[in-house]
């Protein structure tokens, strides 16, 4: 796969190094004056020192042959424009952009871009750790609007039906595991201490589920 990474900060350099180690072809673009010091010495791709939106720079990087482009500069506006041009003008099949300021996520959404908001995602992870220590996020969709959580059933819930745990909570049961064997959960299944449940839910619903799990009250 040929990937263009626009932005050689901490995220861009780490991504480029990982993809390079996995055998992908890469070009990293960063602004004029960038020494590319963040790049791993083992990185074997190309580098282009230029403003990514300057005329001809994306073509020099081989965007017409690119399988993917990632825009991770420290400017939400630059990321959005580069990603939009890659998708709409050069028809790059896989484009991902990074969002820094949550107030500017609307720009990325309005352009229909697949984006990762590290600020939103990071703050939500910390909030989850503080408010729902009994839940562990194992899969995140989008920027964490919906996640799959793994929870361990405590002794206080033993002998009670799954339906009582999730009653009137905006969530979907994904799997119910016991003794290392997972099954599709049924609302009338009886819980045992140590069971693992995987539940898909938005954060607020997950927080409610976590509090119910810890208090033992439906």
Does residue 126 lie in a domain region? Answer: no
Mean pLDDT, the chain, as a whole number? 88
For residue range 132-157, list pLDDT tens digits in order: 667 788 888 877 789 899 888 999 99
Give the per-residue pLDDT at 161. Answer: 93
CATH of the domain at 205: 3.30.70.1450
CATH of the domain at 25: 3.40.50.720
Last residue of a domain, one of 121, 149, 182: 121
Tell me what the mean pLDDT of segment 96-119 comes to.
Answer: 78
Q: Does residue 117 share a domain with residue 56?
A: yes
Query: Is the CB of residue 185 less than 8 Å from the CB of residue 176?
Result: yes
Q: Does residue 189 share a domain with residue 108?
A: no
Residue 112 has pLDDT above 80, yes or no: no
For residue 160, give every residue at least 6 positions away whose Cβ sits within 8 Å of its Cβ, in sequence order, or none.
190, 191, 218
SS3 15: helix
For residue 148, what are its two tokens? 């799959």
What residues make up the domain containing 95?
2-121
Tell me what the mean pLDDT of segment 184-191 comes to.
Answer: 88
Residue 121 has pLDDT above 80, yes or no: no
Q: Does residue 53 share a domain with residue 9?
A: yes
Does residue 127 lie in a domain region? Answer: no
Q: Does residue 137 share a domain with residue 116?
A: no
In DSSP terms, 54 is beta-bridged to none
pTM for this prediction: 0.68
Q: Using CA atoms of 80, 128, 15, 61 in order, give the dihedral in degrees to the nearest 10.
A: -10
Residue from 201, 200, 203, 197 nearest 125 by CA: 203
> Alpha-carbon torsion 56, 112, 145, 141, what sign?
negative
Residue 127 has pLDDT above 80, yes or no: no
* Model confidence band, residue 129 (pLDDT cutoffs 50, 70, 90): low
For residue range 17-74, list pLDDT tens digits in order: 999 999 999 999 998 777 788 899 889 899 999 999 999 999 999 999 999 999 999 8
For residue 122, give every residue at least 6 positions away whose Cβ sits within 8 Å of its Cβ, in sequence order, or none.
none
Higher local confidence (pLDDT), 117 or 184? 184
Give the per-residue pLDDT at 218. Answer: 61
Q: Does residue 112 share a domain with residue 24?
A: yes
Give the per-residue pLDDT at 113. Answer: 78
Name the one residue in this structure whose structure tokens are 């990074």.
98
* Model confidence band, residue 81 (pLDDT cutoffs 50, 70, 90): very high
* Model confidence band, residue 88 (pLDDT cutoffs 50, 70, 90): very high
The DSSP output letter for 56 is T
Q: Does residue 136 share a domain with residue 107?
A: no
């Amino acid at each position: 796969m040929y990937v263009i990474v626009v932005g050689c900060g901490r995220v861009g350099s780490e991504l480029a190094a990982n993809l390079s180690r996995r055998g992908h072809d890469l070009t990293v673009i960063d602004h004029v004056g960038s020494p590319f010091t963040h790049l791993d010495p083992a990185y074997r791709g190309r580098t282009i020192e230029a403003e990514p939106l300057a005329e001809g720079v994306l073509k020099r990087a081989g965007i017409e042959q690119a399988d993917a482009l990632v825009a991770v500069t420290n400017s939400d506006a630059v990321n959005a424009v580069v990603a939009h041009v890659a998708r709409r003008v050069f028809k790059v099949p896989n484009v991902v952009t990074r969002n820094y300021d949550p107030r500017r996520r609307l720009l990325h959404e309005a352009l229909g871009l697949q984006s990762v908001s590290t600020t939103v995602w990071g703050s939500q992870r910390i909030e989850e750790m503080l408010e729902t220590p009994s839940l562990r996020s194992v899969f995140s969709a989008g920027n964490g609007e919906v996640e799959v959580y793994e929870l361990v059933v405590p002794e206080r819930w033993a002998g009670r039906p799954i339906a009582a745990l999730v009653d009137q909570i905006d969530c979907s049961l994904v799997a119910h595991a016991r003794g290392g064997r997972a099954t599709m959960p049924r609302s009338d299944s009886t819980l045992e201490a140590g069971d693992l449940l995987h539940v898909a839910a938005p954060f607020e619903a997950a927080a409610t589920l976590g509090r119910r799990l810890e208090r033992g009250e439906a």
